[in-house]
Structure 1
Amino acid sequence: MFHKATQKIVNELDPYGGTLIPATSPYFSDDFKPLHIIKKRKGTWFFTKDKYIPTSITLADILKDGKDLDIGLQTSNFSGYAETSSFYILGEVDASVCTVDAGVHASGGVADIISTVEMKKRVISEMMLLEATKDRKINRRHRFVKQLCNNTFHIILEVVETDRPCDLNSLFTAHAGVEVPTKIMKAKGGVNVALKQNLSFPAGTTIAFKVLKLRITEDDTLDTVWQEFQTYNCAASCYRKPEIPFTELTKLSKDVSQLFLNTFLQILGNSDNLPVLDTMLDQICEGFQPDLQVLGLMEDEDRACVEKLLDLLGIRKVDPPGQPLTLTPHQNEVIKTVNIFVQSLNELNPDTLPLLATNVEMKIISRQLKMLEKMEERFFICFAPEMQIDPAEETLESLALQFTESEFEITQGILEEFGFHLKSENTSISCEMHHRNEDMFCSIFVVLSVLKALDDQVKM
């Protein structure tokens, strides 16, 4: 909900997508401030977007004489923002976590209400930064500097933050028209249901930021890096099926698999946990204890969900942030898989996540994955002319005809999110691709594959 709001605000402030980056979560706001070092992870062939991972380290921390570093910070009130938006969605459900039978229908709506946001901009001049640090040396013995592979790093040069407290509300409504057994919805057939989500964040919460790339020179001083221009890479633009490390998931016991599956269902019920988990998992994948102080800022239910997943991953809460972790190869592989799963969820529309959890309860993931494979063959993979397709194989349309009406509606709602329109007329099925979105296709494929792998372990 927060990331959705900051993306809208950034689109207004920076409509041409220049340099302003929307913040993903209010919980790491203190680390998204001027002069804080931020880790930039370049997009891969699967996750094409660059990621920015916050740290508690500032530029002053890595300088030998940085304690008295004083750089003029320019502050100005420059804009206000207010919006009420509502839009129609397909196949919505009430995302309250509970263990009851529930209803789902093919119509409903979501309204997001953002209170007026008064914002201020805090900026450090690049020229003043270089002037203030020109005679200061980098501490090569600092643990962060030791990890640098090319003597370059990024710092935050500018932030847009709230000037006063702000409220963000989301109203989720649905009419339960058919009965669907699911653990993450709370509804009975024939009744209206609604879910309200409220998020309040204080003055000084970072809405967006800009970064500057610096390099450490041979004499251990700082200099800026010229803007990098990305070259077109034909190989990188070609579709490649995601490779998911399933091996360690199949080694989990039935009870542990059930715990992971239940936790993932809870996460699907509240997408606001995803940016927090994404950041923590990135820190863990780099081999360091994540910053768990943000858990104290979260609501009790959200905090319990995040803590449950960290416990399953073997992350102890007693260790201070930034300390090296000692994990077994099995733990590392499970964490890697969970990280890919969470990153994939972050690529999807939050309104789709409850539908994905419904798939687990409806036992239709296997059939949906078969459909995705057929879509992959038809729309993404170019077959050589000599390749022959067996006419006896199931087609995309024949697989879709196997769904019941409610199963078809859920599947149809999910496919719409990544550009496919599945239409049923009488006893015939048609499938059209309105737009090609490989990132979204890969993400939905990963999410369904991980859920199926855990569900298969539970059934054993």
Structure 2
Amino acid sequence: MFATATRNFVDEVDRGGLLIPVSSLNDSIHVLSVVVKRKRVWFWQKPKYVPTDFTLNDILTGDTPITPVVNEADFIKYNGTFGDHIQGAVDANFAHASLNMEGKDASKLQTTFGSLKKEEVDVQKLLKDSENGVLDMSHCLIQQTKEKHRQVFGIVKERIVTTAPCSVIEEVQQCGQLEGLLSLCGLKTSKFSLKENGSLSKDSNVTMEIPPHTTIAYGLIELEVKRNGHYELCLMSDTYGSFEVDGALMSVSGAQPVGEDAHLKQELEQLHHHFQLLSSLPVATRSSLLQHLIAAMQDMDAISTLQDVLDHMCLGDGIKTESHINSVQAILELLDVESSFLRALHMVTSALDEMRNDCLSVLTTCCSPTVLQSLEILVLQCVLGSAELPLCSADLAPLTDEVYEKAEYLFPYLNVTLKRDGDTVKTEIIHQPSNLPLVLCIAVKGLASLARDG
């Protein structure tokens, strides 16, 4: 809830910028706090930022701490209301299983951050103070971070802070009917009850009171760390932090956009093996995986939790806590955790995790096999530029006016336009530095791979 609120805030005020949303109220973030930037498995994923309990002064040698000059200024007054009103149906029939689900979903997230303040470090003074600074390379935080070649340091140079008590209110009303041989059980099963032939209902109203001086977003300066402990501040937006290892600098850059249509097509072809793996799973396994993903897609926090677990498993880090593995146990039990199928599923969830919450909600209502097949045909036209398809095509028969309206709403958020011209429909990529068109293709093609008939 808090993570969704801060993510919405950053999307609205600094989309494509340098602000990072705070994901947990437990994160204590101040100026000069040390944050670990972790590279993800897939190049299209944004890096993960993990705040630590240390400041820059905690990992420096010597007895003279850096005393930053911090400038404070009013930022903005922010109140936002985000809501979805979705009605849809999923009708999936497989050789050994069937799923028929329909329902209505109304949710509202009301965020009242009020007047916000910006605290920003005087970078000129910090640069001067850092000229003779040396990191304690024996410090446990440095040792543990350096061991992971996909991690680097950043220090907080600015933060957006609340100035008065504020709140985040979530209201959810869900009702629906499910019939089938497989029960729908997602990552939040404790919040609703369900029978194989029965009804689903969820009605909640949660208020979170947030105290003043709470950080909701922050910006970093990354560090280029030498073997002897000397470090440099990465002042330009296109320079990235690193650790010098065996004379070479091991850096972690941001997500790199694929750019041209031909490059996008090439990337999809390289991922073809993963889609084939998902399609080759037993029908019952695929249908069950699809159900779990549909349930998770209704909650951004659920997708993020699943993605965190799969991140650690695919990187060979294991599971951080028992609660994490319990939350996704049903999904993990369907696959051999050592298999390539796990990586293929991780590819799909990584794309879903890059989407906005409202995009996930719309995509959830398009998860019947026939509709997914039509959406797959549409999004794959992206790789061909502005290819057109006749609406009379049998492949586009499930593309009813209602489904078309959903796709027309969904695609622009992922830098793809969908246009209807008489009896034809076409897709075009909005040429901006972004991986969102690739994310859309992977998400839809991945879900369609799980929904194949055979």
**TM-score, length-scaled by structure 2:** 0.65
Instruction: Confirm or deny: 8 A CA contact 1:397 1:431 kept in the other structure.
Output: no
2:323 and 2:72 mapped to 1: Cα distance? Answer: 28
Give the conservation status (yes or no) of the 8 Å contact 1:367–1:399: no
Q: What amino acid is aligned across from residue 132 of structure 2 in structure 1? A: K
Match of 1:416 in 2: 409
Secondary structure in 1 matching 2:451? helix
Number of corresponding residues: 396
* Structure 2 counterparts to residues 139-218 of structure 1, below 5 A: 139=137, 142-148=143-149, 153-162=153-162, 166-170=166-170, 198=206, 200=208, 202-203=210-211, 205-217=214-226
Q: Which residue of 1 aligns with 2:231?
A: 222
- Aligned-pair RMSD on alpha carbons? 5.0
Of residues 431, 438, 460, the one that matches 2:425 is 431
Q: What is the match of residue 298 of structure 1?
A: none
Which position in structure 1 is the counterpart of 2:189? Answer: none
Larger fraction in strand:
2
Pick aligned residue for 2:302 from 273, 282, 300: 273
* 1:138–1:216 CA contact under 8 A, matched in 2: no
Amino acid at match of 2:167: D
Distance 1:339 1:289 in 2: 14
The letter for the 2-side match of 1:224 is: L
Unpaired segments ≥5 residues, structure 1: 187-192, 296-302, 315-326, 382-393
**How far off its partner does 1:450 sit?**
1.9
TM-superposed deviation, 1:263: 2.0
The amino acid across from 2:216 in the alignment is I
Compute the displacement of 1:353 (Å).
2.5
- The CA deviation string for residues 305-326 of structure 1, in whole angstroms up to 9 with x for no partner, is 4454466677xxxxxxxxxxxx
Aligned to 2:242: none
> Deviations along 1:184-204, whole A, 9 cap, x unmatched?
999xxxxxx996664626436
Q: 2:356 aligned with 1:366, yes or no?
A: no
- Return the offset for 1:362: 5.6
Counterpart Cα distance in 2 of 1:206 and 1:413: 35
Deviation at 1:211, TM superposition (A): 0.6
The reply to whether residue 444 of structure 1 matches residue 444 of structure 2 is no
Distance in 2, Cα, partners of 1:352 & 1:281: 22
1:355-385 CA distance string (max 9 Å, x none):
433433464322332333345435179xxxx
What's the counterpart of residue 22 of structure 1?
A: 21
Distance verdict in 2 for CA 1:249–1:93, change over 3 Å: closer
CA distance in 2, matches of 1:250, 1:94: 23
Q: Does the residue aligned with 2:27 lie in a helix, a strand or coil?
A: helix
Q: How many angstroms apart in 2 are the aligned matches of 1:344 and 1:252?
A: 20
Q: Quote how far apart the aligned CAs of 1:209 are.
A: 0.8
- Per the alignment, residue 238 of structure 1 pairs with 260
**Corresponding residue for residue 245 of structure 2:** none
Which 5+ residue runs of structure 2 have no aligned equivalent? 91-98, 187-191, 194-200, 240-255
**What percent identity do the matched residue pairs reach?**
15
| CA spacing shift, 1:216–1:165, aligned 2, 3 Å | same
- Aligned match of 2:35: 37
Alignment of 1:403 onto 2:361 = no
CA distance in 2, matches of 1:280, 1:61: 32
1:272-351 maps to which residues of 2 (within 5 A)? Answer: 272-289=301-318, 291-292=320-321, 305-306=327-328, 308-309=330-331, 328=338, 330=339, 333-351=340-358
Structure 1 pair 36–236 and aligned structure 2 pair: CA distance change class (3 A): same
The DSSP-based 3-state class of the residue aligned with 1:26 is coil
CA deviation vs aligned residue, 1:291-349 (integer Å, no higher than 9, x gap): 44996xxxxxxx964454466677xxxxxxxxxxxx73x2xx34433332223113334
Give the whole-Å Cα distance in 2 for the aligned partners of 1:166 and 1:135. 39
* Contact 2:87/2:365 (8 A) holds in 1: no
Whether contact under 8 Å (2:35, 2:49) holds in the other structure is no
Mapped to 1, the partners of 2:424 and 2:17 lie a distance apart of 40
User: How far apart are the structure 2 equivalents of 1:75 and 1:283?
Assistant: 38
In 2, the alpha carbon distance for the partners of 1:451 and 1:269 equals 15
- Does the 8 Å contact 2:41/2:314 carry over to 1? no
Residue 368 and residue 340 in structure 1: after superposition, are their counterparts in 2 closer, same or farther (change >3 A)? same
SS at match of 1:37: strand
Please, which moves more after superposition, 343-352 or 64-73? 64-73
Q: Name the amino acid aligned to 2:407.
A: I
